[in-house]
Amino acid sequence: MTFATSFVPDIRFGEGVHAGIAASASALETRSALVVIDGFLAASGLGEQLAAQFAAEGIAAEFFSGFAGEPKLAHVQAASVAARGKDLVVGIGGGSALDIAKIAACLAVADEGPMHYALAANPLPKRPLRKIMVPTTAGTGSETSATTIFAGPEGRKLWIWGPETKADLVLLDPALTVTLPADLTAWCGLDAFVHAFEAATNRNAHAGAALYAHSALSLLTVALETAVRSPMDIEARGKILLGSCYAGIAIDNCGTAIAHNISHALAGLTPVHHGLATALGFEATLEWLVEAGTADLAAAARACGLADAATLPAFVTGLMDRCGIVRALPKAFSAFSAGDLAREMRAPENQPMRRATIRDVTDADIDAIAARMMALPKTL
Question: Is 7 among the residues that bind a second copy (CB under 8 A)?
Answer: yes
Q: Which of 141, 238, 268, 281 binds a second copy (CB under 8 A)?
A: 238
**Of 16 and 293, which CB lies nearer to a second copy in the complex structure?**
16
Short-list 180, 90, 94, 158, CA closest to 350: 158
Cα end-to-end distance, the chain, whole Å:
46
Q: Which DSSP letter does residue 125 get? A: P
Three-state DSSP state, 164: helix
Question: Is 29 among the residues that bind a second copy (CB under 8 A)?
Answer: yes
Q: Which DSSP letter does residue 28 get? A: T
Interface with a second copy in residues 168-207 (CB under 8 A):
168, 207
Distance of closest approach, residue 18 Cβ to a second copy, in angstroms: 12
Task: Read off the amino acid at residue 236.
Answer: A
Distance of closest approach, residue 208 Cβ to a second copy, in angstroms: 6
- The span from the CA of 87 to the CA of 166, in Å, is 15
Question: Is 120 among the residues that bind a second copy (CB under 8 A)?
Answer: no
Task: Read off the amino acid at residue 48.
Answer: E
| Selected range binding a second copy among 12-20, 40-48, 255-263, 366-374, rule: CB under 8 A | 12-20
Using CB atoms within 10 Å of the CB of residue 271, give its burial: 0 to 12 exposed, 13 to 18 middle, 19+ buried.
middle
Question: Is 363 among the residues that bind a second copy (CB under 8 A)?
Answer: no
CA atoms within 13 A on the CB side of 165: 28
- The span from the CA of 142 to the CA of 244, in Å, is 9
Task: Read off the amino acid at residue 22.
Answer: A
Distance of closest approach, residue 178 Cβ to a second copy, in angstroms: 16
Distance of closest approach, residue 79 Cβ to a second copy, in angstroms: 25
**Of 116 and 126, which CB lies nearer to a second copy in the complex structure?**
126
Q: How many residues bind a second copy (CB under 8 A)?
A: 29
Distance of closest approach, residue 142 Cβ to a second copy, in angstroms: 17
- The span from the CA of 145 to the CA of 7, in Å, is 10
Question: Is 48 among the residues that bind a second copy (CB under 8 A)?
Answer: no
| Selected range binding a second copy among 14-22, 86-94, 267-275, 350-358, rule: CB under 8 A | 14-22
> By rule CB under 8 A, what string of x and - marks binding of each residue 126-145 to a second copy?
x-------------------
Question: Is 12 among the residues that bind a second copy (CB under 8 A)?
Answer: yes
Short-list 67, 71, 263, CA closest to 151: 71
Contact 353, 315 (CB under 8 A): no
> By rule CB under 8 A, what string of x and - marks binding of each residue 203-222 to a second copy?
----xx--xx--x-------
Tell me the pairing of strands 157-161 and 147-151: antiparallel
Distance of closest approach, residue 371 Cβ to a second copy, in angstroms: 41
Q: What are phi and psi of 263, to 5 degrees?
A: -60, -45
Q: Which of 13, 161, 288, 315 binds a second copy (CB under 8 A)?
A: 13
**Of 150 and 246, which CB lies nearer to a second copy in the complex structure?**
246
Task: Read off the amino acid at residue 274.
Answer: H
Q: What are phi and psi of 134, to 5 degrees?
A: -130, 90
Distance of closest approach, residue 177 Cβ to a second copy, in angstroms: 15
**Of 13 and 288, which CB lies nearer to a second copy in the complex structure?**
13
**Of 168 and 340, which CB lies nearer to a second copy in the complex structure?**
168
Q: What are phi and psi of 40, to 5 degrees?
A: -70, -25
User: Which sign, positive or negative, has the C-alpha torsion 164, 170, 175, 178?
Assistant: positive
Using CB under 8 A, list all residues that contact a second copy: 1-17, 29, 126, 168, 207-208, 211-212, 215, 235, 238, 242, 246
